[in-house]
Chains A and B, each alone.
Chain A
Amino acid sequence: MATAKFETPALKPFPVIPLIAEGAMAHSKPYVAPAKIQEAIGFPGELAEGWEQRAVAKMGELLGKYRSLRVYMDACVHCGACSDKCHYFLGTGDPRNMPVARQELMRGVYRRYFTFAGKHFPKLVGATDMTREVLDQWWSYYNQCSECRRCSVFCPYGIDTAEVTMAAREIMDSVGLGQKYANEIIGKVHRIGNNLGIPGPALEDTLLGLEEDTKDDTGIDVRFPLDQAGAEVLLVTPSADFFSEPHVESLIGYAKVFHAAGISWTLSSKASEAGNFGMFIGNYEQLRMIALRIREAALELGVKRIVVGECGHAWRVAYSFWNTLVGIGAGGNDPFAVQLQSQLDARYKQPTHICELTHDLIQRGALKFDKEKNDDRIITFHDSCNVARGSRMGDFPGGQFVIPREIIKAVANRFHDMAPETIHECTFCCGGGGGLLTDDLIELRVKGALPRMEALKNVVDAHGVNFMATICAICKAQFSKVLPAYGFDMGMVGGVHQLVSKAIRLGEPE
């Protein structure tokens, strides 16, 4: 089982590409979702007679709906440009974790049923029938991809393994083979409103508690409003921000920023989750239905702006997909989009990342900081994959790298970046993204964190770094868990707004 004993890889002073170790991670498999979880979100409960034909038919459907999949099935030349880029390959040495080999698991089936060469010369081109054995490999290795898109940066044709993984998971779900962790969460977000399954009253209690804590800390009445109709800003944040450490420290940071800038804001009990696991399983309908909650909450509350908290994949979905899915954005001319877009304030980018909002306020001189309050911290910044390679902030390409770092430098004195080949667009996934943040995959998560841990170790040794800031709920949870495996303190990871929270001036206590 996946929870069996394993060795944490040793940290090396410089990156080494491992020799391939065939089958090294073939045993890694997540728990299969029981029928109840599958059926609750519209998938068949289990694999049934004839699944092979249905899987091939689904693949045909997706090939017709997604140009990415269609082109990427044909274009690969096996050049190997991606072969040493995946953190799961670097951490495990399993050759099936090379992006090209992961894609090839689907390409074999694609060739067999959808290409001339594969139909007539299967051996020559490596075409394979859709069999139980192939499905088992899919199940293992398409659940060893965090959809971080690092491979797509280096591919000469831009082939994005995330697109292939999403399609594979969609095909598996459609024949009744779903992943328990991700699909259970999707059920919860529909039933309760957020991934953690926190009901409205509990959320209200939590927020009242945070108001008291913040008052005790600062002597100031910083509010954490919920379902406040007529507020200017609707803040949509990952539900981990309400309950988990260190996430909650950033939530306090956002509240202080709104307070100091005098912006009225609210959370929503209906849309109490920014995360959207519909992306992880590659299901467009789920992706859209989960995003619809945000649209509905915004319309009901009559807000002028929609701001998104620190969450990597949520920001990719919000920035890149919300306008497409549910019209949160600008430039729509159909009635569905106009209904919302005429309500939103067109002077602001919709949606706005909390870092864009804070950065803008800093630029305008609306926030003041006591930077020395963060002097006990020597800080580095981990670019989260979905923010780095699947979104943007600000007005220019790469703003997503500049803005969080400028915030850190505005609120703290001591900052050092990690090695250039491990940050910005080349950043490494934390090892727990893409729907893999579950204990049944802990071996994969620990090993997949290796490249980031090595880069961190280098700045720890060279500059005494003791804090790694990031803007993703999954990164924060994953690092809290795997940092100790590599001999670091779990408290080393935290949010950018955790640093903002520490240094921001709120005025005189009443």
Chain B
Amino acid sequence: MLSIAYAALFYVATAMLVVGLGLKVREYFRTPAPLLIPTTPAPLTRGGVALRLVREVAFFESLFKSNKWTWLFGWMFHMALALVLMRHSRYFQQPVADLIVLVQPFGTYAGFAMVAGLGGLWARRFLVDRVRYISTPSDHLHLALLVAIGATGLAMRFVAHTDIVAVKAFMLGLMRLEVLPLPADPILLVHLTLVAGLMMVFPISKLLHAPGLFFSPTRNQVDNPREARHQAAWAAALDK
């Protein structure tokens, strides 16, 4: 019964994440950008733009220019999250890829960096008067959700081990549309419920900053307005 409920939860959450995100990305993609508005100085070529986006994604270049504390906590959280996600991908593959085996020890301890980064970001929402002013209940809930996911994960890894072999079998089963028994371990169940919740709110919340960056005209446009005529369809119709 429990296994069936969690299987259903994960199918629904995955569908909501994939479909919701797909619809959002399609909406961003289809909305035209009628004017060239890159924040200059901007790259003069497509390759340059790709590099600019890589620097934003991998190093948070603009945030680094803005505020070193926010950058430190934000970057630490996101990089740790990336390692943790990579490590978790081992529960969805058999045999485990070499890269994931390599990441395993880093991914394990990255959980601490992740929670520490979140703690720093959360502290700013109380300690800096400007950030306190702009923080909404939803901002705090997002942080609470992520911290709880991190804390339950760390608890299972370092305090009260769950039957990870059974969990992996459950996940691999889900990928073959087969429901295998899931251990009825409370920490595990909380962890999985919160993760499913995160997947479900992703496409309807500020977590859209992830796809948003790639569609941001100030960052993804080439600085070449004098060399090429850039027109949106609705704007070109005005020339007729």
Contacts and interface: CB of A to CB of B under 8 A. Distances in A.
Among A156, A157, A321, A390, residue most surrounded by chain B Cβ atoms (within 10 Å) = A156
Contacts of A330: 226-228
Given A65-B32, A67-B32, A74-B208, A81 B63 contact: yes
Interface string B23-59: 0100110011111110111111000000000001000
A324 B70 contact: no
Interface string A86-120: 00000000010010110010000000000111000
A104 B42 CA distance: 27
Contacts of B213: 75, 156-158
Interface in B215-234: 215-219, 223, 225-232, 234
Contacts, number: 226
B65 A391 contact: no
A154 to B, nearest CB: 4
A75 B216 contact: yes
Nearest to A17: B130
A1 interface: no
Contacts of B208: 74-75
A481 interface: no
A400 interface: yes
Interface string B135-168: 1111101000000000000000000000000000
B36 A321 contact: yes
A100 B134 contact: yes
Nearest to A349: B226
Contacts of A336: 239
Contacts of B74: 79, 156
B105 to A, nearest CB: 29
- Chain A interface bracket (under 10, 10 to 19, 20 to 34, 35 or more): 35 or more
A324 B24 CA distance: 27
Interface string B1-43: 0000000000000000000000010011001111111011111
A158 B131 contact: no
A225 interface: no
B204 interface: yes
A199 interface: no
Nearest to A387: B40
Contacts of A388: 40
A44 interface: no
B225 A321 contact: yes
Given A63-B31, A70-B31, A152 B218 contact: yes
B24 to A, nearest CB: 8
Given A79-B70, A154-B62, A425 B239 contact: no
Interface in A140-182: 149, 152-160, 163
- Chain B interface bracket (under 10, 10 to 19, 20 to 34, 35 or more): 35 or more
A124 B201 CA distance: 13
B231 A156 contact: no
Chain B, interface SS category: helix
Contact of A80 (B44, B134, B204): B134
B235 A163 contact: no
B94 interface: no
B65 A154 contact: yes
Given A80-B124, A98-B130, A117-B205, A71 B234 contact: no
A70 B28 contact: yes
B67 A76 contact: no
23 contacts: A20-B130, A67-B33, A67-B215, A67-B217, A68-B37, A70-B27, A78-B206, A81-B70, A95-B133, A98-B133, A100-B134, A124-B141, A149-B218, A153-B65, A156-B63, A156-B66, A324-B229, A329-B229, A331-B227, A331-B229, A351-B226, A397-B44, A400-B40
Given A67-B31, A160-B39, A390-B40, 15 more contacts: A65-B34, A65-B232, A67-B215, A74-B209, A78-B134, A78-B206, A79-B121, A80-B131, A95-B134, A98-B134, A123-B137, A158-B56, A331-B227, A392-B41, A397-B40
Interface of B: 24, 27-28, 31-37, 39-44, 56, 60, 62-63, 65-67, 70, 74, 121, 124, 128-131, 133-139, 141, 204-206, 208-209, 212-213, 215-219, 223, 225-232, 234-236, 238-239
